A and B are shown apart, each in its own frame.
Chain A
């Protein structure tokens, strides 16, 4: 027997997130659990997590405009920011996965029936690792808005999907980045499933004039914040 130190637990973060039972988004109806989640003390399984790295990232994965012979149609943009924990500590070397529709609002997916054209020069999929300071940067085109069947005349505001792992299973986050001032926010039940207006704002990137590249691309900045850690390590009697 020896005493070992468990890494600090991650703070609970449920308040920031949308309720799984969000009736305005119709697909939640048969998919939200009816019972409340059972609280689980974070163990080594939850305090560790997959550290997927360079083997998942190809040389052009960060530039969605250079993955084909020609350039995709649309407004070229730079999307950059940092991945942080709640205490402001950067999350280095962590994998980001992004996916999005093209500038016409169409995903390269067989299930997407929106009668907008596919773009032969755009896959809409990217990956990168954060740097030592938690920074990431993608080059892409601004995605279009598109209609969906949730309610009469429903349109999704333009968005880019983001998937993050952080450092531990507890920090896994999948979310969407939106663009400032989108007139479609008010009628979108997915955006509005986040009840707290201040929390909703954290899903919206900021236009970033300083990072634009003259005569080439506009830029948006979006920082992503994962759950932070509690202050003190816990004692554990290891078996």
Chain B
């Protein structure tokens, strides 16, 4: 019999005993040349911060390459590409990373630099998936096929503003300013 997919279940609030680790938020060590911070807050539908969410990031390296055997251009070892940050009491998360380069788009062309995001948390029976784009990449963003398919207000929910030492973006799970979430 063909196996069928195992359904998702929520992480509930006590994932913090098992999932976060000290180096989790550090895709690269803080003193790496070019290191940036990307962070923000997670809010619920009442505009309250979500203190028991887990934000995970996955991205290409500054050349747009992945340390992964399925990258048809070949694997480039050395860049973990993955960050994991639990939110704090104020709903705040942060990862330290390098800015990704552009990644090839299916069908040709390039995608603007972006970071794939998973948000898990109490009350989320399944992860939600979004992307972070960069506010100082106006030209690349304008040509990005994923952003091009969205309306202005939707697109704005995905674009991180430049901030001290990096970029800032909040995630709104529900309602006013709701972040665009993707079905992948």
Chain A residues in contact with chain B, CB under 8 A? 4-7, 10, 12-14, 16-20, 22, 25, 27-52, 56, 84-88, 97-99, 101, 107-109, 111-112, 123-126, 161, 163, 167-170, 172-176, 190-191, 193-194, 198-200, 202-203, 223-227, 234, 236-239
A-B contacts at CB below 8 angstroms, number: 250
Q: Please tell me if the beta carbons of A194 and B7 are within 8 angstroms of each other in the complex.
A: yes
Judge if B81 is at the interface, Cβ distance under 8 Å: yes
18 cross-chain CB contacts under 8 A: A4-B73, A25-B125, A28-B125, A29-B123, A38-B182, A44-B71, A45-B103, A46-B116, A52-B82, A111-B14, A125-B18, A126-B18, A161-B11, A163-B11, A174-B8, A190-B12, A193-B9, A194-B7
Q: Please tell me if the beta carbons of B82 and A16 are within 8 angstroms of each other in the complex.
A: no
Q: Which residue of A lies closest to B108 (CB)?
A: A237
Q: Please tell me if the beta carbons of A38 and B150 are within 8 angstroms of each other in the complex.
A: yes
Q: Please tell me if the beta carbons of B8 and A18 are within 8 angstroms of each other in the complex.
A: yes
Judge if B140 is at the interface, Cβ distance under 8 Å: no
A92–B18 CA distance with the chains assembled, in angstroms: 22
A20–B128 CA distance with the chains assembled, in angstroms: 9
A125–B17 CA distance with the chains assembled, in angstroms: 7
Question: Of A38, A87, A202, which contacts B183 at CB under 8 A?
Answer: A38
Q: Please tell me if the beta carbons of B104 and A238 are within 8 angstroms of each other in the complex.
A: yes
Q: Which residue of B lies closest to A194 (CB)?
A: B7
User: Given A45-B103, A161-B11, A175-B9 in contact, is the A33-B173 Cβ separation under 8 Å?
Assistant: yes
A234–B80 CA distance with the chains assembled, in angstroms: 26
- Number of B residues near A (Cβ < 8 Å) is 74
Q: Which residues of B contact A40 (CB under 8 A)?
A: 129, 146, 182-184
Main secondary structure of the interface of B (DSSP, over half): loop
Q: Which residues of B contact A198 (CB under 8 A)?
A: 4
Q: Which residues of A contact B111 (CB under 8 A)?
A: 43, 45
Question: Of B9, B110, B181, which contacts A174 at CB under 8 A?
Answer: B9
Q: Please tell me if the beta carbons of A236 and B104 are within 8 angstroms of each other in the complex.
A: yes
